[in-house]
Amino acid sequence: MLPLDPEQLDARSMLGVIYARLGDKDRAISQWRELIRDAADYDPALTNLEILDGKQAFAAADSGTDALIAKNFPWFSE
């Protein structure tokens, strides 16, 4: 496994997104909860938990996710 720098909040959040997209909801939730524990004011992790929990429309969040993954992780979308 690739170690993450705890200060790279976006990378840690994206790892949760990847877990969710792969269908591993439990690992995604764990990743985002750990991130919130370490950085309580990091809104993307809170939003992602709400989306995964069904409190927001998944389609609205999904529209930007594909572009973000393609930009930051081009190998993932190939």
Lowest mean pLDDT among 29-33, 45-49, 62-66, 73-77: 62-66
Asked whether the predicted pLDDT for residue 1 surpasses 80, the reply is no
Residue range(s) defining the domain that contains residue 37: 9-72
Which helix (H) or strand (E) element contains residue 66? helix 58-72
Predicted confidence at residue 18, as pLDDT, reads: 92
Which helix (H) or strand (E) element contains residue 46? helix 43-52
Total domain count for the chain? 1
Q: What share of the chain is helix, strand, coil (3-state, %, to 5)?
A: 65, 0, 35
Query: Tokens representing 38?
Result: 């370490």
Asked whether the predicted pLDDT for residue 54 surpasses 50, the reply is yes
Q: Is residue 3 part of a domain?
A: no
Q: Is residue 2 part of a domain?
A: no
Judge whether 40 and 31 are in contact, CB under 8 Å: no
In this predicted model, what pLDDT tens digit does every residue of 4-52 receive, in sequence order? 677 889 989 999 999 998 989 999 999 999 999 988 888 899 888 888 8
